[in-house]
């Protein structure tokens, strides 16, 4: 069984930083970056679970929901990852999004 702890830790850390960020930082792009990440993680999870189905797009639930959205999408992806390469790529996506969000 694949140990997905690195992904869940990265997602938890980013979500915690978003929750602690001031509203002004969220408005300047951190929330948009988090939503883009959540959508990408959700898309990857859906493609692994249902490869013959077009992925549904995660809706924009507002800047204050961004942390929850990356938690949900990240945990969903962690459940369906198949190998270390997919895991490493997902962790990299989260870390890069957090750097771009500057939180």
Tens-place pLDDT, residues 48-86? 999 999 999 999 999 999 999 999 999 999 999 999 999
Tens-place pLDDT, residues 10-46? 999 999 999 999 999 999 999 999 999 999 999 999 9
Residue with tokens 């690195």: 6
pLDDT at 1: 86
pLDDT at 12: 98
């Amino acid at each position: 069984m694949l140990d997905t702890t690195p992904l869940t830790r990265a997602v938890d850390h980013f979500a915690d930083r978003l929750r602690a960020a001031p509203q002004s930082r969220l408005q300047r792009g951190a929330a948009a970056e988090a939503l883009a990440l959540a959508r990408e993680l959700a898309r990857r999870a859906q493609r692994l679970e249902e490869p013959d189905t077009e992925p549904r797009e995660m809706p924009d639930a507002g800047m204050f929901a961004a942390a929850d959205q990356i938690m949900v999408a990240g945990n969903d992806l962690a459940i369906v990852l198949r190998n270390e390469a997919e895991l490493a790529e997902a962790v990299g996506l989260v870390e890069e999004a957090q750097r771009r969000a500057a939180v």
